[in-house]
Amino acid sequence: MLALAAPILSSHARAAAGSVLYLCFSGFCHQIPERSLFLYGFPLAVCHRCFGFYLGLFLGSLRGIPFRRPLQNGYRTFVFIAGTLCLLDGLLPLAGLWRSTGFSRMATGLLLGYVISSIVVRGVSERLREFRPRSLAIGPLQRKGNLV
């Protein structure tokens, strides 16, 4: 949402706040305007691919775990495929073998973000299942019958 907030703030006389967001995202994204979506006449704080990646992370976290049964190779295969597609979409234009478009950049970023989000959601849910908070007691805590 912060990537969307930068152009919105910039267009509504909050240029300083928008500039701070653009600066924060500049460490993660090249922010080339020709490779970015525009909102209210200003480019988003990230390019097509980065926006797709962040959108994929968000949508994947809402969706939850897409595969209920663990797969033999886990999620590595899906990450490998999504990462390879994203990498090819970025490198093949340099070799003149492919013409990357805004749609292809956003689609490969979206796929990679979604797959990674599914792994993160699964890991967090497994961690939360293992987590057992200690019971809270009023008064002195006891361990094996001794006062702590």
Residues 64 and 77 in one domain: yes
Provide the pLDDT for residue 137: 52
pTM above 0.85, yes or no: no
Q: Tell me what pLDDT residue 139 has.
A: 54
Whether 78 and 42 share a structural domain = no
In a domain, 138, yes or no: no
Residues 72 and 120 both lie in one domain: yes
Do residues 124 and 67 make contact, with C-beta atoms less than 8 angstroms apart?
A: no
What is the model's pLDDT at position 76? 81
Contacts of 131 (CB under 8 A, 6+ apart): none
Contact 60, 116 (CB under 8 A): yes
Boundaries of domain holding 81? 47-131
Task: Check residue 140 and give its pLDDT.
Answer: 56
113 shares a domain with 94: yes
Name residue 146's beta-bridge partners.
143
Say whether both 36 and 64 belong to one domain. Answer: no
Q: Is residue 147 one of the residues assigned to a domain? A: no
Residue stretches of the chain with pLDDT short of 50 = none
Going from the C-alpha of 144 to that of each of 4, 103, 139, the distances in angstroms are 55, 62, 16
The pair of structure tokens assigned to 99 is 């013409």
Tell whether 23 and 69 lie within a shared domain. Answer: no
- Write down the pLDDT at residue 83: 95
Spatial distance between the Cα atoms of 11 and 22, rounded to a whole number of angstroms: 13
**4 and 56 fall within a common domain:** no
68 and 40 in a single domain? The answer is no
Q: Are residues 113 and 99 in the same domain?
A: yes
Question: What is the DSSP code string of 115-127?
Answer: HHHHHHHHHHHHH
Q: Do residue 26 and residue 95 come from a single domain?
A: no
